[in-house]
Amino acid sequence: MNETNGGPQDIFYSPSPDYPRPTFVRGKGIYLWDDEGNKYLDASSGPATCNIGHSNPRVLRAMQAQAEKLCFSFTSTARNVPNIEFSKQLTQLAGPGFERALFVSGGSLAVDMAIKFCRQYRYATGETSRTKLISCLPSYHGMTLGCLAVSGDPIFDEIYSDMITSASKIEPFYHYRRPEDLSDTEYALSCAKNLERQILKEKENSVLAFIIEPVGGSSTGAISPPEVYFKEIRRICNQYGVFLIYDEVLSGSGRTGTFLTHHQWKNAQPDIVVLAKGLGAGYYPLGAMLTSAALVDEITHLTGFNYAHTYNANPLACAVGLAVLEEFSENNILNNVCKQGKYLRQQLVNLQNQSSIIGDVRGTGLLLAIEFVANKESNEPFPIEFDVTERFKKIALSYGLLIYGRRSNNGKFGEHVLVTPPLNSTEEEIDLIIDKLKLTLDELEQKIIKFESV
Ligand SMILES: Cc1ncc(COP(=O)(O)O)c(C=O)c1O
């Protein structure tokens, strides 16, 4: 075992970096402390999950109170009070078209549920030929075998595609390296047409659903297609009887400034929304699939929906979810996302203007990202072997800055890190993030200039 390995658990995570990972023992707000007493600033809320920071007193109180009453009850045989309350609050926030909520223990399971629900509906209503899925390349939808079928990453395809039926992948909206001869709207509409072309390539009435992240996460670095793109996607799905699923595991629960991202648009509502990460905000594993009463009620009397997982909607999970929602309404968190999101974006653009390696700043609300390039004139990415994201994260860590960037598709679609602080961050905390990002960038750029190994 070399010194970068932590013991028997390390083999289950991504290949060990050439520097030790910290071992965290405590967290408060936007800060974490390791077992040697070092303090870290959590600029990405973990993987955009700890949306109200660490050790939130309201959530801790709710967890303890619920744990003392009832930790577990099995949803297949009984109801529980936190589940009833949480479903009510969440569906109200989600609005018309999302009157039903199914809770599971994470994002991948929620995506699986959404896909299975679409299939069950078509099966129950006699449209059994509809089995095919369409998603984007790149994209990320989770790690179960079902999710890997829709996640757009050829690395997973190579390993698993002989075992699972992979979705057809379409080219997404990706404004950063778009053709120059098209206006913004023309480009967005041409990207949406990729979906129609793909549906027409498949056998008639074979496509079940199209799944997309309304604002990208780690696979695209916060790519935010405009409203016109999603309106056209909605129109196409209606025309061909295809379910539209928004994977808001990372972008939902307030991160983009509205509780669900499509609340910012008109006529671009999906049939199903999937949430996780910020829903339990790092306090409990929690995911949700939301859809309409009309769809659920229709199949209830036909086949029902077979979905039982032991930990679904357990009382502790739902009590945590409720407390997180209460924290949102009591502290007007959505307003803070809009205000601090604007401020953070401006500070990142200032950094970009001073930096030779930030090619793009993008995103919505407090779901922002910076993309690294070797050449700002041509937008040319760094060579894959340079592994710029990993180098950036390593230097950031030495300044006590935690930043999330997962190199998806082996860096084929650019390299970026997510800047996604907690949704209740203050301006002073954002200034601290910017200071540490600047130190990190300066050091990385110096090392690039000197061709030093970092
Ligand atoms: C957009 C998206 N979908 C699904 C998932 C899978 O969620 P989980 O890691 O909770 O299984 C993730 C996780 O990063 C995600 O970002």
Residue nearest to atom 5 of ligand 1 (CA): 142
Pocket around ligand 1 at a 6 A CB cut-off: 47, 106-108, 111, 140-143, 213, 217, 247, 249-250, 276
Query: Which architecture, in CATH terms, is 10-55+332-449?
Result: Alpha-Beta Complex (3.90)
Helix axis angle for 315-330 and 333-354, nearest 10°, is 80
Instruction: Please determine whether the domains at 10-55+332-449 and 57-330 fall in the same fold group of CATH.
Output: no
Rounded (10°) angle between helices 427-449 and 388-398: 120
Question: For residue 427, how far is its CA from the centre of ligand 1 (angstroms)?
Answer: 28
Q: Look up the CATH architecture of domain 57-330.
A: 3-Layer(aba) Sandwich (3.40)
- Give a three-class secondary structure readout of 166-219: CCEEECCCCHHHCCCCCCHHHHHHHHHHHHHHHHHHCCCCCEEEEEECCCCCCC
Report the nearest-CA residue for atom 10 of ligand 1: 107
DSSP 277: G
Pocket-testing residue among 249, 284, 289, 367, ligand 1, by greatest number of atoms within 8 A of Cβ: 249
Q: Any idea where the domains of the chain sit in the sequence?
A: 10-55+332-449, 57-330
Distances (CA, A) of 204 to 1, 129, 301, 368, 411: 55, 9, 28, 39, 35
- Tell me which of 176-185, 235-244, 351-360, 407-416 is least confident: 407-416
For residue 375, give the DSSP letter.
B
Average pLDDT over residues 259-275: 98
Q: What is the pLDDT of residue 128?
A: 97
What residues contact 427, with CB distance under 8 A and at least 6 apart?
340, 343
Residues 6 or more apart whose Cβ sits within 8 Å of residue 237? 195, 210, 243, 244, 271
Pocket mutation for ligand 1, best pick of 139, 141, 147, 272 (most atoms within 8 Å of C-beta): 141
| pLDDT value of position 1 | 38
Residue 249 Cα to ligand 1 midpoint, Å, equals 6
Q: Which two tokens stand for residue 172?
A: 């997404």
Q: Is 244 in a helix, a strand, or coil?
A: strand
Q: With bands split at pLDDT 50, 70 and 90, how would you rate the model's confidence at 16?
A: low
**Average pLDDT, stretch 126-149?**
96
Q: Mind listing the pLDDT tens digit for each residue in 60-94?
A: 999 999 999 999 999 989 999 999 999 999 999 99
215 C-alpha vs ligand 1 centroid, how far in Å? 13
Whole-model pTM? 0.96
State the distance from the centre of ligand 1 to the C-alpha of 373, rounded, in angstroms.
26
Mean confidence (pLDDT) of the chain: 94
- Contacts of the segment 432-436: beta carbons below 8 A, 24+ positions apart: 432/41, 433/41, 433/43, 433/344, 433/401, 434/344, 434/347, 434/348, 434/351, 436/41, 436/43, 436/396, 436/399, 436/400, 436/401
Ligand 1 atom closest to Cα of residue 213: 1
**What's the gap in Å between 142 CA and the centre of ligand 1?**
5
Residue % of the chain over a pLDDT of 70:
95
Per the listing, tokens 């405009």 go with: 226
Minimal-distance CA residue to ligand 1 atom 6:
142
Under DSSP, is residue 78 helix (H, G, I), strand (E, B) or coil? coil
pLDDT in tens, 198-225: 999 999 999 999 999 999 999 999 999 9
Task: For Cα atoms 430, 432, 438, give the angle at the middle one, nearest 5 degrees.
Answer: 105
68 C-alpha to ligand 1 centroid (Å): 31
Q: Lowest-confidence range among 73-82, 255-264, 359-368, 379-388?
A: 379-388
The pLDDT tens digits of the residues spanning 294-323 come to 999 999 999 999 888 999 999 999 999 999
Provide the percentage of residues in the chain whose pLDDT is more than 90: 85
